[in-house]
Amino acid sequence: MAMSISRAQPAARARQRRPRWPGVLLTVLTLALAALWAFPVLWTVSTSFRHEFQTISTPLQWLPHPWTLAAYQTVFKVSGILTYTWNSLLTTALITVVTIALALPIGYALSQLRLRSAQLILWTVLASLMVPAASLYIPLYVLMDKFNMINSYGGIILPQVISAGAVFIFKSFFDQIPKEVREAALVDGASEFAILGRIYVPMTSGLILTMALFTFIAAWNNFFWPLIIENSPRMMTLPIGITQAISLYGITYAASAAVAVLSGLPLVIAYVIFQKQITDSFKSALLGVSFKG
């Protein structure tokens, strides 16, 4: 018996030393995809620190020589980058807050309350996920025009605060919480709003943070709807402002790259600050959701 065990141990060690080719190939593929993603980002950053004539000179150089902040100075002097940034921050923050404030109680109601039409509402929410957003732009524009919200913050914000995906995710997460939790709180005399605010919201704080970040990123990068609803320079958001880095001689590549770097900087800072919370909440909340019909 002892001899068989001693023979089995070297064999087990040999199996452990064998290269795991699927894992190696997956790692190589991941690095290749990361390089493909990182190349245009790094090139944009590099371009933003060049003189304008260097952006079209040949042969191309990976690093700017010399390094200069001329493009950033041009952006702050000529373009309305500060106005664009304020518009993006204001509209994106309000969209994020209102979206979560609406999706959270709707998901709670569909999951925990005994509504006769809960299934119908849920299927309506799921059906809305299949409708392309571009097909709604014309009716939304007509609706905003009737409300006199063209060239206004309300015109940017209102059509973006309804998120069927957020409702479905919150509902699926609440489905995992035993019904007895709500029933016990009702016995103690708590109202539905008190149960939601004092019990369910703390339990879903990680998911709320994750959904808020995803909503913030989507609203911050939204280009087509603000482009359609706004035609005044004072109401432009950053994604539209990037397209305004144009001189009398055509597109200024260095200035365009500088605007792109500045527009992406807030998202990078937010991710760096909340990286741990986002990663933990993504693992515990999103990956653990059991999608019940």
* Total domain count, the chain: 1
The runs of H, that is alpha helices, within 18-54 are 21-48
Q: Is the pLDDT of residue 219 over 90?
A: yes
pLDDT in tens, 11-68: 555 555 555 777 788 888 888 888 888 888 888 888 889 888 788 777 777 888 888 8
Q: Is residue 241 domain-resident? A: yes
Asked if residue 97 belongs to a domain, the reply is: yes
- Residue 7 included in any domain: no
Average pLDDT over residues 89-99: 95
Q: Classify residue 153: in a domain, yes or no.
A: yes
Domain presence at residue 121: yes
pLDDT the model gives residue 289:
45
Work out the burial of residue 247: count CB atoms within 10 Å of its CB; fewer than 13 is exposed, 13-18 middle, 19 or more buried: exposed
For residue 115, pLDDT over 70 is answered with yes
Using a pLDDT cut of 90, give the percent of the chain over it: 18
Q: Domain for residue 9, yes or no?
A: no
For residue 284, is pLDDT > 60? Answer: no
How do residues 236-254 score in pLDDT, each as one tens digit? 898 887 777 665 446 678 8
**Widest Cα–Cα separation across the chain:** 87
Residue range(s) defining the domain that contains residue 244: 72-286
200 within a domain of the structure (yes/no): yes
Residue 291 pLDDT level (bands cut at 50, 70, 90):
very low
CATH number at residue 260: 1.10.3720.10
Share of the chain above pLDDT 70, in %: 86
Distance CA 262, CA 82 (A): 10
Average predicted confidence (pLDDT) for the chain: 82
Establish if 35 belongs to a structural domain. Answer: no
Q: Is 204 helix (H, G, I), strand (E, B) or coil?
A: coil
Q: What is the DSSP string of 51-65?
A: -GGGGS-SS--SS-S
